[in-house]
Amino acid sequence: MKFKIVACGVFEPYIEILARESPNEIDLKVLDAGLHARPNDLRLMLQSEIDQASRGGYDAVILLYGLCGRGAANLVARDIPVVIPRAHDCITLYLGSRARYQAHFTAHPGTYYYTADYVERSDSNRLVALGASADSNLQAE
């Protein structure tokens, strides 16, 4: 089968490995992770990728996104199936399920999550602006 995968940049290192190992033909398009902060732009980009894939001979489009500030809301599958996880955002996907996300969110309200890739690619000033103190020890839980 032939799939078009459109993924958020936070998944890039992982999805590239999985795409290489897949028995299917995978065309991967990775979008800038910063688009989650601009949901209208994200929606336009995702719809454009879906529309382009409709003309590309794909069996389906797989979106590796959550709802992402409603940036993935109201997308239209025209000629081929579009598959998207039922998730609020990438953290739900990283935690493995909506139930696990909800349990963690309930136990730790107000938590701001950073992915390892996000921390590696961000400068310290950006992280401080997002709430991490300059001397924070960002660790996996």
- Kind and range of the H or E element at 93? helix 90-95
Average pLDDT over residues 55-60: 93
Instruction: State the Cα–Cα distance between residues 27 and 86, nearest whole angstrom.
Output: 22
Amino acid, single-letter form, for residue 113: Y
Q: Which residue has the tokens 């690619």?
A: 121
Q: How confident is the model at residue 67 (pLDDT cuts 50, 70, 90)?
A: confident
Residue 140 clears pLDDT 50, i.e. is over it: no
Which comes out higher in pLDDT, residue 102 or 136?
A: 102
pLDDT in tens, 103-125: 988 998 888 777 776 666 665 55
Quick one: CATH architecture of 2-96? 3-Layer(aba) Sandwich (3.40)
Asked if 70 and 64 count as a contact pair (C-beta separation under 8 A), the reply is: no
pLDDT in tens, 22-52: 999 999 999 988 888 899 999 999 999 999 9
Mean residue pLDDT across the chain:
83
Q: Give me the residue spans of the domains in the chain.
A: 2-96
